[in-house]
Amino acid sequence: MATQKPKPKLETELGTDEEATPLTRDEIRAMIFRGDREFRTEQLVLFGAKVDFRQPTLGAILGAKQEENRAKAVAEMLIRYCFVPGTKEQVFEDADIDTILGLPFGEDLQKANDAIERLTGIDVQGEEENSEATRDSTTS
């Protein structure tokens, strides 16, 4: 008598395994592309003002990684994903980029950097150091 293979286990959004029938391509796509997906938000204080920082999209992260000027990439993330708390109103506009780049880097901007890292899983400072190391090794 042949032994029966156990059913595959699928990870749910709650992080628990449950036995289930494998999903079809259409079911997988429906789960991934469903319209009710919420972006995570962190509230932080920038220079005394409370703001919501929202989780960036995949496109924004990939675009930022391709941007050679890391400072500009981080400033653009602030422009795109910093909101008036509880609203869909962005705090900054594209015209603010030079002003943002001129802000003193300290605890407040470090908190924003940390929020980017938590919301994306990307170490922004590490990415910058890796980019510099790569540039240095190619110019030697």
CATH of residue 71's domain is: 3.30.2220.20
Query: Furthest-apart CA pair in the chain: how many Å?
Result: 74
Q: Is the pLDDT of residue 98 over 80?
A: yes
Task: Specify burial of residue 64 (Cβ count, 10 A radius: 0-12, 13-18, 19+).
Answer: buried
The pLDDT of residue 62:
85
Residue 27 has pLDDT above 80, yes or no: yes
Domain enclosing residue 74, as ranges: 41-132
Q: Is the pLDDT of residue 13 over 60?
A: no
Residue 103 lies in a domain: yes
Q: What is the pLDDT of residue 65?
A: 80
The DSSP symbol for 90 reads B
pLDDT at 134 over 60: no
C-alpha 19 chain-centroid distance = 31
Overall number of domains in the chain: 1
> Is residue 6 in a domain?
no
In a domain? residue 52: yes
Does pLDDT of 23 surpass 70?
yes
Examine residue 23 and state whether it is found in any structural domain, yes or no. no
